[in-house]
Amino acid sequence: MGTTNASAPKSAPKKNQSKGFTGIKSGFSVIIGCCVIAVLIYLFVFGHLSHFQGGADQSVQFSVFLPADVTLDPADLIGTVYKGGFVVPIIWTLFFTVIALAIERFFAIRNAYGRSSITVFVADIKKALAANDMAKAEALCDKQRGSVASVVRATLKKYQEVEKDDSLTKEQKILAIQKELEEATALEMPMMQENLPIVGTIITLGTLMGLLGTVLGMIRSFGAMASGEGGADSSALSTGISEALVNTASGIATGALAVITYNYYTNKIDRLTFCLDEVGFSIVQTFSATH
């Protein structure tokens, strides 16, 4: 019987090890995939000859850099975007990366929250602790799953272990429970914050790439003014300014999306951390009041 009871608690935590989708571990692979998609769209969609004046009469195939002997003016906005040059697929790569990581974080953090409302779960755990019903608290953790449930389950296990250990003082037992809570939380936090530093970097990088595209477009515009004989080439001037403004808009849109994504998920993680602190405090207070 002693062997059976000792092995029973060990099987319960293993049930919680299956946490479902916890996120993509390699953010670099996401960036590479988004880069490939961005370049393909840039070359084969935005670089199609139909988006340039007289393109139907040309037999050339566009590449990232147009052939030196081919000078076609954009026929629409898509052609203008394409003429923005190599900066365009770079900005798109950043933009697609933010979208991909936003979707990835959505499922990962939703899984971390568990199957039901985290607020209801914390309230139910506090009620079970107030009634000193550890079996019910463990059952709630097994039903909820997610990061909060995993931390609570590990803390409750330590609670039961120190409760039976007569060699420790009450203060030592409380410290052991608090330490277990902190360690379990530290193991969960990296999973929730994974890939968010990439999004945080894109906040600045996206804006800088848009600024770079703006500068390059303005250089081409002033070059057109300088090369015009008897006056500036109005067509080349307007095209250069359009390219600059398009790159500016793309960079700002990328940075704005990154800011929204980063702040949204950071707030979600902060809320989850607050729930962990609240339920952890309840466990410690319950032990302190009942022992």
- pLDDT tens profile 39-66: 999 988 888 777 777 665 555 454 444 4
Looking at the domain assignment, is residue 200 inside a domain?
A: yes
Looking at the domain assignment, is residue 277 inside a domain?
A: yes
Looking at the domain assignment, is residue 157 inside a domain?
A: yes
Amino acid 70: pLDDT: 53
Which segment of 14-28, 59-73, 78-92, 228-242 scores lowest on mean pLDDT?
59-73
Residue 255 in this model has a pLDDT that exceeds 80: yes
Looking at the domain assignment, is residue 9 inside a domain?
A: no
Tell me which H or E stretch contains 115.
none
- pLDDT tens profile 155-197: 888 888 888 888 888 888 889 888 988 888 888 888 888 899 9
Looking at the domain assignment, is residue 70 inside a domain?
A: yes
Q: How many domains does the chain have?
A: 1
Looking at the domain assignment, is residue 199 inside a domain?
A: yes
Query: Which of residues 50 and 102 earns the better pLDDT score?
Result: 102
Looking at the domain assignment, is residue 209 inside a domain?
A: yes
Looking at the domain assignment, is residue 56 inside a domain?
A: yes
Distance CA(162)–CA(134), nearest Å, equals: 14
Distance CA(198)–CA(97), nearest Å, equals: 9
Q: Which among 10, 275, 282 is positioned nearest to 144, based on CA atoms?
A: 275
Cβ count within 10 A of residue 102: 18
- pLDDT tens profile 15-38: 444 456 667 777 889 999 999 999
